[in-house]
Amino acid sequence: MMQLFYVTVNVCLTSNLCVTPLGLEGDVDLQFLLEGGKLLKVKSSSWKKNRMYKLHDDYTTIWHESHRIFKRKETFSIDDVDSVRKGRQSESLQKHTEAHVEDLCFSIIFKGRRRNLDLVATSVEEAKQWVNGLEKILSNMKKLNLKCIPIYNVWIFNCMRKADKNKDNMMTLKELKHFLRQINVEVDETYAKVLFTKCDTSNSGTLEGSEIKLFYDLLTHREEIDVIYEKHAATGGQMSANDLLNFLLNEQREVATLEDALRLIEKYELDDSAKHMNHMTKDGFLMYLQQEEGSIFNPAHKKVYQDMSQPINHYFISSSHNTYLMGDQLKGPSSTEAYIKALMKSCRCVELDCWDGAQGEPVIYHGHTLTSKVLFKDVIKAIKEYAFKTSEYPVILSLENHCTLEQQKRMAKHMSSILGSALLTSPLEDQMPTAFPSPEELKGRFIIKGKRLNKLDAVYSNTSPAVEEDCVSEEDEAAETNNSKTDPNGQKLAKQLSDLVIYCKSVHFSGFEHAKDNQAFYEMSSFKESKAVNLAETAANAFIHHNMTKLSRIYPAGSRTASSNYNPVPLWNAGCQIVALNFQTPSKEMDVNQGRFRSNGLSGYILKPEFQRYDGSEFNPMTLTKGPWIKHKTLHIMVISAQQLPKLNKDKPKSIVDPLVKVEIYGVPADTCSKETRSIENNGFNPMWNETFQFDIQVPELAILRFQVEDYDATSQNDLIGHYCLPLTSLQNGYRHVPLLTKRGDVLPSAGLFVHLMLLDAK
């Protein structure tokens, strides 16, 4: 059986071949990982064990020794690793190691809910080599594109290696059948024998070398690509630059030139002789379709492309509720890790639920519950470290303050000292502003949302604070009903903390007219889910106008103790900016949220449509009338095929998925719709549907397209295989590949859908 490799362009599939990842040939750090070494694994102050770790020669697996009775040797896949953090950057290492070992420590952060792997090296140099080597491997796997075998091939090779039970570099008929089950294909005995016999050209009873290459070619052959390519390859059986240009213009509906076609040939064609003639072969064509130019998502929207100079309330802002929680609302753990994960997903508004802690140090947890506590200062340190790694645009710290005055002062001191000059402590303007600054002006800054003792005008008049009665949001009111802490003089808010609240002062909501007449632009209200949804349904236009000048924050109902989520779409339709969700909970609602914020460079800010921003707009999502918001479109979607859908029940080798695809539109009520394909029995490897759907869309600027692939079950609820969500405005027409994500939002490296889309003006 062949070894796994993924570098050379013209790959020779022979046995006993193992090729170093692209650009890392002879790399010292990579060689260090292959040799491995002892690391101290840290779980707690009392559990610290030396274990051997090394990179497997397939370059995608880390092997480590275990002292478990039945698992002496364990592995984990590089695919499961999200990132590597150098130093004592995890909560566990901060708690259970001393500061002097900072340069020896590093953490491997896994995707999903798997616990971090916290390690301590024996020397600073070894720690650097582990971190550098792992980061190079991670980076290399993310770049399996232009000059590498596509990642789905890597996955196939991995499965081939696992199927070679006796490691003799040959494939028997039994191993071939095992391999097919590994890749989620159910074949009958007759077909398996036919395929095996066709490839066994030496009649040896095993496949090896070029026979495995033949088997691989037969296996990865895609009939639908043949049909498309042959239709457009009009130059001696190949696609010339002009043929490719015609394809881009007529099928993909792109604005393209001959130079664009030549650039794609240069970038993706694998055959040098074809490239020399400015031709694209079928392999090059497939390579192009599987890269970002052939993706459903417009690659131009991977960067910040919207106007970022509008007032901050003119944007939807990616927002988290009770950010500190890793699980449910009653007894789950609180952790700095939850803030890191949210910020790395470009969340721009995080919540800090602050209470008095021991030794004068405020803590964050869900008050009056069994959730664990985390130090306020540790959370601020984590936020400082990770706030701007994914997005450089401002982060709002939404404080729910239950602390006594002394600990409030401590909070203010920690934020000022840790966040430094990045903390916004005064308005940007030289005189009293009348509107918000823009995300562009607030780049790299932290904005505090909370209660304030007086009006913002006091910043310019240097007067002592005049305490106001109405400086409380609805959520604060609910929290403080049974737990109001005051000092002997009756003052609930420390001036030091109050002074840090500039553009986001929490106030009670008393109606849209009252807000219009009495609230300044920087005074904002928080709405519980049920009240916000009711307003969005019964007074949508008034809500939209309210949000043209002010910010609104929405939070989940208190009854959602399991940290479930509500549908954010109706609140976005009403122009609400800060629609806070439980980021820790995988759900359709979180999928839609991440889809909404997938574009504009993952900045966490999406410019609202103009009809939600200009005064006098009559837009109402509930009762659509004629206006600039109506841009009637027809979306035609053909769901053609899927590739390498993962097995859901890995404990049952013969369990094969029966996939179906749901296509959903989220937006204004008139546009919301869902359709689905038939299910295909026992084929997760290359199912084909060729089913066409049509959607009529009135307000495309608020529409979100979602694909969900499920494993059909006649007797119980279907299981999720993968999903993908994006704004309709970020969609590319034509033949497109759709990546698929796990329920927690991580990319399924091997899986995808192949579709044809056409978004046209309705006749």
pLDDT in tens, 609-643: 999 999 999 999 999 999 999 999 999 999 999 98
What's the pLDDT score for residue 207? 86
What's the pLDDT score for residue 169? 73
**Across residues 130-142, what is the average pLDDT?**
87
Tokens coding 477: 């009111």
Q: Is 207 helix (H, G, I), strand (E, B) or coil?
A: strand
**Across residues 443-455, what is the average pLDDT?**
96
Q: Which of residues 707 and 18 earns the better pLDDT score?
A: 707
Partners of 50 in beta bridges: 40
Count the neighbouring beta carbons within 10 Å of the beta carbon of residue 48: 14
Is 378 marked as a binding-site residue?
no
pLDDT more than 90, % of the chain? 67
Residue 421 to residue 627: CA distance in whole angstroms: 45
Q: 151-163 and 173-182 helices cross at what angle (nearest 10)?
A: 140
- C-beta of residue 606 within 8 angstroms of C-beta of residue 596: yes
What is the CATH code for 223-294?
1.10.238.10
Residue 456 to residue 451: CA distance in whole angstroms: 12
Is 522 marked as a binding-site residue?
no
Tens digits of residue pLDDT in 288-300? 999 999 999 999 9
Provide the pairing of β-strand 73-77 with 747-761: unpaired
Is 682 marked as a binding-site residue?
yes
Count the neighbouring beta carbons within 10 Å of the beta carbon of residue 678: 11
Residue 190: band (very low, low, confident or very high) from pLDDT cuts 50, 70, 90: low
Tokens coding 745: 């939002």
Is 115 marked as a binding-site residue?
no
Letter for the amino acid at 591? D
- C-beta of residue 201 within 8 angstroms of C-beta of residue 211: yes
**Across residues 689-711, what is the average pLDDT?**
97
- C-beta of residue 539 within 8 angstroms of C-beta of residue 512: yes
Residue entry with tokens 């010339």: 240
DSSP per-residue string spanning 339-397: HHHHHHTT--EEEEEEE--GGG--EES-TTSS---EEHHHHHHHHHHHTTSS--S-EEE
What's the pLDDT score for residue 171? 82
Is 353 marked as a binding-site residue?
yes
Residue 700: band (very low, low, confident or very high) from pLDDT cuts 50, 70, 90: very high
- C-beta of residue 244 within 8 angstroms of C-beta of residue 265: yes
Domain 149-220 has CATH 1.20.210.10: no
- C-beta of residue 80 within 8 angstroms of C-beta of residue 111: yes
What's the pLDDT score for residue 248? 98
Residue 137 to residue 78: CA distance in whole angstroms: 8
* Residues across the chain: 763
Letter for the amino acid at 316? F
Q: Is 107 helix (H, G, I), strand (E, B) or coil?
A: strand
Residue 465: band (very low, low, confident or very high) from pLDDT cuts 50, 70, 90: low
Residue 649 to residue 643: CA distance in whole angstroms: 18
Is 351 marked as a binding-site residue?
yes
What's the pLDDT score for residue 472? 53
Q: Which of residues 232 and 216 earns the better pLDDT score?
A: 232
CA distances from 407 to 215, 363, 384, 449, 489 (A): 69, 9, 20, 17, 16
Residue 321 to residue 454: CA distance in whole angstroms: 26
Tens digits of residue pLDDT in 50-101? 999 999 877 778 988 877 655 555 888 888 898 999 999 888 899 899 999 9
**Across residues 192-203, what is the average pLDDT?**
85
CA distances from 344 to 341, 379, 383, 386, 389 (A): 5, 15, 10, 7, 7
* CA dihedral of 609, 613, 617, 619, whole degrees rounded to 10: 40
CA distances from 700 to 260, 613, 626 (A): 28, 16, 14
Residue 145 to residue 161: CA distance in whole angstroms: 22
401 phi, psi to nearest 5 deg = -100, 115
Partners of 120 in beta bridges: 40, 105
**Across residues 158-165, what is the average pLDDT?**
67
Is 322 marked as a binding-site residue?
yes
CA distances from 239 to 47, 176, 242, 269, 284 (A): 62, 35, 8, 11, 10
Long-range pairs for 212-216 at CB < 8 Å and ≥24 separation? 212/1, 212/2, 212/13, 212/14, 212/15, 212/160, 212/171, 213/12, 213/13, 213/14, 215/171, 215/176, 216/13, 216/156
Nearest partner of 138 among 218, 80, 222, judged by Cα: 80
Q: Which of residues 178 and 513 earns the better pLDDT score?
A: 513
Residue 7 to residue 249: CA distance in whole angstroms: 32
CA distances from 396 to 4, 245, 532, 640, 683 (A): 46, 46, 21, 43, 47
Q: Is 100 helix (H, G, I), strand (E, B) or coil?
A: helix
Domain with CATH 1.10.238.10 in the chain: 149-220, 223-294
Q: What is the mean pLDDT of the chain?
A: 88
What is the CATH code for 1-146?
2.30.29.30
- C-beta of residue 690 within 8 angstroms of C-beta of residue 742: no
pLDDT more than 70, % of the chain? 86
What's the pLDDT score for residue 157? 63
Catalytic residues: 321, 366
Q: Is 241 helix (H, G, I), strand (E, B) or coil?
A: helix
- C-beta of residue 78 within 8 angstroms of C-beta of residue 155: no
Instruction: Write the class of the CATH domain 312-428+439-456+494-612.
Output: alpha beta
CA torsion sign for 618, 624, 626, 628 is positive
Phi-psi region of 33 (alpha: psi -120 to 50; beta: other; left: phi over 0): alpha
Q: What is the CATH T-level fold of the domain 633-761, as seen in this structure?
A: Immunoglobulin-like (2.60.40)
Is 553 marked as a binding-site residue?
yes
Domain with CATH 3.20.20.190 in the chain: 312-428+439-456+494-612
Is 451 marked as a binding-site residue?
yes
Is 331 marked as a binding-site residue?
no
Is 313 marked as a binding-site residue?
no
Is 400 marked as a binding-site residue?
yes
